[in-house]
Structure 1
């Protein structure tokens, strides 16, 4: 599983050097992989993750740290726990499937200043993911 996960994640990050965006199927596989990697690592429950997708962002540390794992793997947070929104835009333009590109780009612009708590990586990730959700709940695209 670790080798498979590493290969898929490497493919995801090398993809900008190849012409063309990911397909919806590739995006779905990447989302599933990241959830499978980050969920056990942070002891987040299915209920916690599902709750975030339904708008319940009242999370404990496990749920917040799950989001940090997700956003770190997507390289959306810097080591200083700030949103790398410019990098996010570049990645989205290069590889996001057309089905989420416009929505995701809009969310990045809307949430570029969402992180307020840079002293705690998990809270910072929670703040950013919550903002992305609030920008368009029906089109929320994070795992």
Structure 2
């Protein structure tokens, strides 16, 4: 189950459990596009303003500063408005390619106290980003534009390090993820949608096993996940986009069965005007169609 409204959010929260699951530089960069697609419109910044950041041009503009804060927040790089150093270190170990780990840690260490000087989240994020760029431009570009690890433990409203599925879907087929990675990436989407819809772990923990509680909050949680995955658009199943992303991101052995489920359930949302109800029924349909390959955070 897939793609997410925060296509951009994809921030690579990818909380993978072992180094063997670490992402390549290309995957990290692609993942960054997800976060950008979420934070750019939210903060009303232009392509030029965003692109300038990777060249070390940090415009003294409130929207730009809050765009950076949004990226860090989605990456969960900050906690209570400050850089979450210990968590970021752990995520560097888990997610970054071996060749990048030590330089990334060095950047993180050099800039870990910058945020202490500022009370405003946007301001502290802006100056932390500047510090990271000055310390190592290459590491900054890869980590910020993917936002992968360095920016990872920022707990704020979104908590989405990478819009998990979105991330995967955005990458090219040669970077297809494993089933285990898909499931772990779902944690990111969950961290965004769960608090937003006030659902408990008990309510949603068994959705992937076919347990769909008849609760308004649960239904809207499912809608949030599907929208972030860009599986739903205007309350309807975004079939063409979903099909393309399955081809791009899913393991070969899952592509055909997941596409079959998608096709069988494509008309389900048409029966409902309410997006939460439509999403809920679509998820149930996809589970019923193929429980084995149903993935949901």
Residue 5 of structure 1 is matched in structure 2 by 7
Structure of larger gyration radius: 2
- Aligned mates of 1:97, 1:119 — CA distance in 2: 33
Residue 33 of structure 1 is matched in structure 2 by 34
Residue 87 of structure 2 is matched in structure 1 by 87
The C-alpha deviation readout for 1:16-75, integer Å capped at 9, x for no partner, is 335521122321221111111111111111111122222222331110011001111111
Pairs within 5 Å for 1:120-139: 120-139=120-139
Coordinate RMSD, CA, aligned: 2.3
Preserved contact between residue 115 and residue 125 of structure 1 (Cα < 8 Å)? yes
Preserved contact between residue 71 and residue 125 of structure 1 (Cα < 8 Å)? yes
1:13 match: secondary structure: coil
2:115 match: secondary structure: coil
TM-score, normalised via structure 2 length = 0.43
TM-score, normalised via structure 1 length = 0.84
Pairs within 5 Å for 1:1-143: 2-3=4-5, 5=7, 8=10, 12-18=12-18, 19-79=20-80, 81-141=81-141, 142-143=144-145
Preserved contact between residue 10 and residue 33 of structure 2 (Cα < 8 Å)? no
- Aligned mates of 1:65, 1:102 — CA distance in 2: 28
More helix, by proportion: 1
- Aligned mates of 1:104, 1:21 — CA distance in 2: 14
The C-alpha deviation readout for 1:76-102, integer Å capped at 9, x for no partner, is 1112x1111111111011111235323
- Aligned mates of 2:131, 2:49 — CA distance in 1: 17
